[in-house]
Amino acid sequence: MKQFYYFSKNKLKFVEIKNFYRKFIFLVLFFSILISFLIFGTFFVVNEIINPNAEVAKLQAENRVLLNKLKVSVDKYEALNKKFTELTNKDNSLRLAVNLQPIDVDSKLKFVGGKSFGKIPISNSKEAKKVVNQLDSLLQIVDMKVNYIKNNYVEISNKIKINKKLYDALPAIKPADGPIGDRFGMRKHPILKIWRMHEGIDILVNIGSPVYAAGAGVVTFVGRRGGYGRVVVINHGFGYTTLYAHLKRWLVRKGQHVKRGDKIALSGDSGRLSTGPHLHYEVRHNGIPLNPMNFIYDDVKLFEIVARK
């Protein structure tokens, strides 16, 4: 490798320069950086002298960006707030329609606040940033309100599904086509000659007349039951059961699923307490006998239900 020397006046001789290349590169880099700082410094000084409004222009451009963002945010807020208002106006009507208690939405959400914007004066970039941050918080509040209503709609939707099952299961037709004989309530029994509760109604039909399920459910009993003779019992869910007694023959088995209008038996005169051919029909809720006439709707015709099968 080539070596470099310098003449030392003190030693009166040539002395080798050690690590010459490393020192040379260091000096080149040092002076390059120094010259760069001088050039850029001179540029900024000259630029400030020539164009003193550069910072103002930069701030104005930043403000324009912020104002555009603010306008978009205000529009979004107002749209969400309008949507929320429309949803809340419909909410309680829907709840009442599906047999849910109405709620006071304002009191439920009073803790989140929120308001609409009017004109928002902005004189500098700092104020614009502050208003945008405030608006973002208000947008989150509106989102909370909308999500609350959406969750409430989920509750309404679930209630509709439950109601549909209830309406399908509810005993809603007269299970046989015939006039009503003895009705629900206290009566003097025609055979026992004593006053006792008649826990159903008697439908006067000939032996062998079809008997239909009054609502959807599961057959829980098929067999004989004392003075009732041959009996079919259906559990409709929601606490409701129906009983069909004095049958000639049953056409279903225990555990079978039935729908409203399915033929489940033929009427008869079985049972020691039967006074003649008829269908004894009972409706119970949580074991308590109810008047079956309250579950026979005049606008729901038996033959129409059966015809659709």
What residue ranges do the domains of the chain occupy?
Answer: 5-50, 54-169, 185-307
User: Are 217 and 245 a contacting pair, CB within 8 Å?
Assistant: no
CA-closest candidate to residue 156, choices 101, 95, 102: 95
CA-closest candidate to residue 102, choices 90, 110, 114: 90
Could you report the per-residue pLDDT of 206-219, keeping only the tens digit for each?
A: 999 999 999 999 99
Instruction: Quote the pLDDT of residue 308.
Output: 58
**Chain mean pLDDT for the chain:** 77
Q: How far apart are CA 30 and CA 26, in angstroms?
A: 6
Instruction: Quote the pLDDT of residue 47.
Output: 58
Mean pLDDT of 199-205: 93
Task: Please determine, for residue 111, whether its predicted confidence score (pLDDT) is greater than 50.
Answer: no
User: Are 146 and 83 a contacting pair, CB within 8 Å?
Assistant: yes
Q: How far apart are CA 219 and CA 257, in angstroms?
A: 6
Instruction: Quote the pLDDT of residue 297.
Output: 76
Q: How far apart are CA 96 and CA 304, in angstroms?
A: 30
Instruction: Quote the pLDDT of residue 19.
Output: 60
**Bridge partners, 187 (sequence order):** 196
User: Which residue shows structure tokens 């000939």?
Assistant: 206
Q: What is the DSSP letter of 62?
A: H
Tokens for 224, please give them: 């004989």
Q: Give pTM, 2 decimals.
A: 0.56
Instruction: Quote the pLDDT of residue 307.
Output: 56
Q: What 3-state DSSP class applies to 265?
A: strand
Tokens for 128, please give them: 């614009």
CATH class, domain 185-307, is: mainly beta
Mean pLDDT of 190-197: 67
Tokens for 103, please give them: 């709620």
What angle is formed at CA 253 by the lines to CA 292 and CA 233, rounded to 5 degrees? 20
